Structure 1
Amino acid sequence: MATFRRWLPQIALMVAVFLMLLVSNPREDLPTVGAIYAGMLAFSAMSLNLLLGARLRPVERLFGGMDKMFLQHRQFGYLALAAAVAHWLSPPSFPQFLAACDDLCKSAIEAGEIAFNTLAILGVFSIVRRWTFRGWRIPYQWWKWSHYLLLIAWWLAFFHLMQNRKMPAVYQQMAEILGLIGAACFLLYLLGWVLRMMRTKAYVVETVTRDQGVTGIRAHPRGKGIRHRAGQFAFIRARKPGLREAHPFTISGGEDRDGVVQFNIKGLGDYTKRLHADLKEGDTLVVEGPYGDFRYPDREGRQVWVAAGIGITPFLSFVRSMPDQIRGKVEMVYLVKTAEEAVALEEFEAAAARVDNFRFTLHPSAEKGRWPGVTPGPDLKAVLFCGPPVLRDMLKKQFGRKLHFEYFEF
């Protein structure tokens, strides 16, 4: 059931395009109708990916956060690739309309072939990037820049859809309708790009701390900073070689009006290790955001917060902005291998002493063994989690919709 819900947007698109084709009362043979359906489905999925890539806040809220929106972005990409392959393997044929295919029509047909090849190459590149070969994987920046080439594939597919006159008028009308919808998605993508530039602010790095492989960053804005709430994240990059690619990180503090932001970043990949080694006080940090919808429910009842490893960062922002009085009861557990690995332990202990109804427990597995898990009960209203996917999936099976989390896999 969970898998069905995860793929529900793609299923909805498949049904919508099918119903649209069904209304046209197709009279051709099944392979021909199927090929038309696959081609229109591929273009529709590519267009929706443009809309998701725009990072518009209403769309983000519709999907329940950017993490889930980008998960859908990836799945629409898989759908577009699969539909394009089906369309390419068995393209529709209308010999009776060959005479109507002028030079522009022929160019549109060739554009469709180029669009498919481009989509196929970049799709396989994106899939392969998720694999690791003997400790090496395709660098993020290679994938990011190659991803922009999908805009070329979309434009070629758009031209193919709008100018391929070698088919009955009823199908051409459908193609033009989908083309106009796709053009609207492209315009919204451009709008999103403009809004992202407006949400991008320059900061000056005040302090950089390094402890147990975790880089702590505190920065103040040059001019007006971003406005965010506890639990949100931002894309950050630095204006220096090796750190110019934007990556998402949770904002671990700085919800005050002075615009200061704080990050606690674990050196796990190439970029974060360079950040750990090269970022200095006085450097310029470029921050885009905020994004995300990870927050704790402000209501009566019991809730449990579970942080594992560097998944502590959103909870750190929670306790830094938490008032002395909160509704309900919060039980927080911080899972680490050893107590020495804990980040900002003193802040959580101070919050437990300061805030009524907030209890904090550190669980170092090397000392206490395996964590027994969350104790369920009728008074349990929510479980908030940030950490490794294996533990997240275990909690998801146990608590279902009571579990609040972000995928953070984009």
Structure 2
Amino acid sequence: MKKLMWGTGVVSLLIWGISLLLLPENTNMDIWFWRKQLIYVTGVASFAYMSLIMLLAIRPKWLENPLNGLDKMYRLHKWAGIWAISLGVVHYLIKLSKDILILYVERGAKGPREDWFLDIFRGAAKDLGEWAVYFSIAMLVITLWKKFPYDKWRIIHKSLSAFFLVIVFHGVVLSPSEWWLQPIGMFMAVCSLLGSYCAVIAIFGRIGAQRRFSGKVESVEQLANGIVEITCNLGKNWHHTQGQFAFIKHTALGEQHPFTISSADKHDGRVRFAIKSLGDDTTLLYHSVKVGDKVEVEGPYGCFSYNENSQTEQLWVAAGIGVTPFIAWLEGLQEQPEKAPKVTLHYCANNEQEGVYAKRLQALTETIDNITLVIHYSEQEGYLTADKLLQGTAQNTPIWFCGPSGFAKAIKTGMQKAGRDLALFHNEYFEIR
């Protein structure tokens, strides 16, 4: 993820650097020249990150494995957005510096400007660019403000596709005409075409269209602690790997919601989801979803899968609803328990009442000799700390984690203190925004 983030910035900088080398030898490189160049380089970099955002938004299948899953792609999408908006704000502030700079530095006469057929749109492009800055700042604020309702955020977030087309118009019109015969022009053209293609897919609701399956709800079961299990039949063309997740679309949910698959693929088209009431539309799910209801599932997505060939003992840590991929893993091992790696599975809950999957985990692990189940109830024995988790394990022990982000951070901090390599920590990110 970091390589793609930094790579996008470095490529933008190099492309801009080449445009400098192609300038005429008699170019006056005064402070006004460098102000304009800073406007250009921040604009190009921001535009490149915007294009990356649009590419990630359509959930391309070919990027899943290189980025280690859709959850990581969404995390990259978020950070690319932060960088794009930050650079866009800097781009705009440098533009505004003219009125201050002119008070202290005399500006030479402008040279003649070559006629460019897009110049008739310059006024509109400048105005739209200014409004785009305000909109992007507002979008960043409500994205980072976790209390802003998810359903309303999704509606506003959808408008980013149209927003990108505005940015394309702004960038193409205001780019120097000589760029289009240089590498920087080719770079801008590729970003414009790629991003616009992705934006059109998003606008017409075609994201994930090739991975959608229609089916019916077969069962709905209310468990304790606000958890609902829904089993759907999607037909025999549906297949998934244990540990993946999918987007569910049902009238009770309104917009698509991502949920982890909690069942193994038995090649019969049946798939089970465990959904915990977390607010928004999921709270009344049990009373809204009925057997026989039509449902649309998009997926599967994700690369959260343990190393079955590992000779090193593994630690699996499940907390709360994060237990679902581990249940799918264990179900997948029932027919061939001898293929299970050496594992200690830690299941964490506040108390016995909230540990709704304890009995199911016990039943699933009883048939697999290589897997040892340890149940932790924090109200009785305190929280599972990194020290407790790592005690008696080798330095190269991998950890597979699925649970709250705060818990994940605590374990990673403990691993660092113990001199463990964080590359051994594997987890899924629940946060979509």
- Scaled by the length of structure 1, what TM-score is found? 0.89
Are 1:207 and 2:216 counterparts?
Answer: no
Q: Using the alignment, how far apart are the partners of 1:178 and 1:334 within structure 2? A: 50
Q: 1:62 aligns with which of 59, 62, 66?
A: 66
* 1:101 to partner: Cα distance: 5.1
* 1:382 to partner: Cα distance: 1.3
Q: Using the alignment, how far apart are the partners of 1:162 and 1:126 within structure 2? A: 24
Partner in structure 2 of residue 354 of structure 1:
367
Q: Using the alignment, how far apart are the partners of 1:395 and 1:49 within structure 2? A: 30
Identity, in percent, stands at 28
Conserved? CA contact 2:236–2:267, under 8 Å: no
Q: Using the alignment, how far apart are the partners of 1:199 and 1:284 within structure 2? A: 17
Partner in structure 2 of residue 310 of structure 1:
321
What secondary structure sits across from 2:247 in the alignment? Answer: strand
* 1:194 to partner: Cα distance: 4.7
Q: Using the alignment, how far apart are the partners of 1:116 and 1:68 within structure 2? A: 31
Q: Kindly report which structure 2 residues correspond to 1:250-289, keeping only aligned pairs within 5 A, or say none.
A: 250-289=260-299
- Tell me the number of residue pairs that the alignment of Structure 1 and Structure 2 aligns: 396
What secondary structure sits across from 1:305 in the alignment? Answer: strand
Are 1:374 and 2:390 counterparts?
Answer: yes
Worse-matched range after superposition: 271-280 or 285-294: 271-280
What secondary structure sits across from 1:159 in the alignment? Answer: helix
What secondary structure sits across from 2:254 in the alignment? Answer: coil
Q: 1:96 aligns with which of 104, 107, 111?
A: 111
What secondary structure sits across from 2:53 in the alignment? Answer: helix
Q: 1:78 aligns with which of 78, 82, 105?
A: 82
1:236-264 Cα shifts (integer Å, max 9, x gaps): 121x2x52210111000141111101011
Partner in structure 1 of residue 185 of structure 2:
176
RMSD: 2.5
* 1:74 to partner: Cα distance: 0.8
Are 1:405 and 2:427 counterparts?
Answer: yes
Q: Structure 1 residues 111 and 46 mapped into 2: Cα distance closer, same or farther (>3 Å)?
A: same
Q: Kindly report which structure 2 residues correspond to 1:9-158, keeping only aligned pairs within 5 A, or say none.
A: 9-24=4-19, 25=21, 27=27, 28=29, 29-91=33-95, 95-98=110-113, 100=115, 104-132=118-146, 137-158=147-168
Partner in structure 1 of residue 377 of structure 2:
364
Q: Using the alignment, how far apart are the partners of 1:207 and 1:98 within structure 2? A: 70
Conserved? CA contact 1:43–1:154, under 8 Å: no
- Amino acid across the alignment from 1:41: A
Q: Using the alignment, how far apart are the partners of 1:98 and 1:211 within structure 2? A: 71
Conserved? CA contact 2:125–2:173, under 8 Å: no
Are 1:341 and 2:354 counterparts?
Answer: yes
- Amino acid across the alignment from 2:9: M
* 1:347 to partner: Cα distance: 2.3
Q: Using the alignment, how far apart are the partners of 2:139 and 2:200 within structure 1? A: 25
What secondary structure sits across from 2:197 in the alignment? Answer: helix
1:17-63 Cα shifts (integer Å, max 9, x gaps): 11111122255432111110011111111111111112111112121
Q: Structure 1 residues 379 and 21 mapped into 2: Cα distance closer, same or farther (>3 Å)?
A: closer
- Scaled by the length of structure 2, what TM-score is found? 0.84
Partner in structure 2 of residue 3 of structure 1:
none
1:165-193 Cα shifts (integer Å, max 9, x gaps): 6x361477455312321213433566797
What secondary structure sits across from 1:78 in the alignment? Answer: helix
Partner in structure 1 of residue 106 of structure 2:
none
1:336-364 Cα shifts (integer Å, max 9, x gaps): 11112123322211222101211111111
Q: Using the alignment, how far apart are the partners of 2:271 and 2:47 within structure 1? A: 40
Q: Using the alignment, how far apart are the partners of 1:127 and 1:76 within structure 2? A: 15
Conserved? CA contact 1:126–1:143, under 8 Å: no
Unaligned 5+ runs, structure 1: 1-5
* 1:317 to partner: Cα distance: 0.8
Q: Kindly report which structure 2 residues correspond to 1:187-266, keeping only aligned pairs within 5 A, or say none.
A: 187=197, 194=206, 196-212=208-224, 213-221=226-234, 223-238=235-250, 240=251, 242-266=252-276
Unaligned 5+ runs, structure 2: 99-108
Q: Structure 1 residues 215 and 112 mapped into 2: Cα distance closer, same or farther (>3 Å)?
A: farther
Q: Using the alignment, how far apart are the partners of 1:187 and 1:168 within structure 2? A: 23
What secondary structure sits across from 1:100 in the alignment? Answer: coil
